[in-house]
């Protein structure tokens, strides 16, 4: 660890502001605007989001996944349906995601209900993936204990030599989910930690907007 104390890592947030008179009334459109700005800024992995789930007993877990589609009804990501996150979503189909764009001093938190997307949509996305990624989805028992790295390398080589591109079909244990938002929170870092926080909550089919204290 560095000799520098952790409390010394501090900077002021001076990249912008988030005011009620400038925000869009539709949170999906506001998110799309911010995501476009994150992509155009050139920061690494602007579509990376932390996905938080919990099991039936309320024990939480969180990991980074990649946003693969965004539309007014929700946010789509893909994973192994036999993974820990999938098991937790079976027990408790509610989750939260968070995007963090440090170069813009921004984050977005979204909470809602999660459902599996259609088989057809999962198939379509799977076919769009690079060959190596498709093979990895087939051979990897995601989250399970394996004997060594060689276990994966050998299985990957075996499938690579046995299958051609046209025969690599989506396995039943892999597919997509969509998070359907019930709330959004947009956070813009500000000087002196007086950060802007704007919350959208869905009530009776309409989005209510309020400001939260930092």
Catalytically annotated residues:
193
CA atoms in the 13 A half-sphere facing the CB of 76: 14
Evaluate whether 49 touches 67 at the Cβ level (below 8 Å): yes
If phi > 0 it is left, if psi is from -120 to 50 it is alpha, else beta; for residue 133 that is alpha
User: 180 is written with which tokens?
Assistant: 């359907």
The DSSP 8-state label assigned to residue 33 in this structure reads H
3-class DSSP state of 212: strand
Evaluate whether 64 touches 53 at the Cβ level (below 8 Å): no
């Amino acid at each position: 660890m560095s000799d520098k104390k952790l409390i010394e890592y501090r900077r002021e947030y001076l990249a912008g502001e988030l005011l009620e008179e400038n925000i869009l009334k539709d949170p999906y459109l506001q998110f799309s605007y911010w995501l476009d700005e994150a992509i155009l800024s050139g920061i690494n992995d602007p579509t990376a989001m932390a996905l938080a789930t919990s099991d039936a007993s309320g024990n939480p877990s969180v990991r980074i996944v990649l946003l693969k589609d965004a539309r007014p009804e929700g946010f789509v990501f893909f994973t192994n349906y036999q993974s820990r996150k999938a098991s937790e979503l079976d027990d408790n189909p509610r989750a939260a995601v968070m995007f963090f764009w440090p170069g813009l001093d921004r984050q977005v938190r979204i909470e809602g209900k999660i459902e599996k997307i259609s088989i057809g949509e999962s198939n379509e996305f799977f076919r769009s993936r690079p060959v190596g990624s498709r093979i990895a989805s087939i051979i990897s028992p995601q989250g399970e204990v394996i004997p060594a790295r060689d276990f994966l390398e050998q299985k990957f080589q075996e499938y690579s030599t046995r299958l051609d591109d046209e025969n690599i079909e989506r396995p039943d244990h892999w597919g997509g989910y969509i998070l359907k938002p019930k709330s959004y929170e947009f956070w813009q870092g500000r000087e002196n930690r007086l950060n802007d926080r704007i919350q959208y909550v869905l009530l009776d089919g309409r989005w209510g907007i309020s400001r939260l204290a930092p």
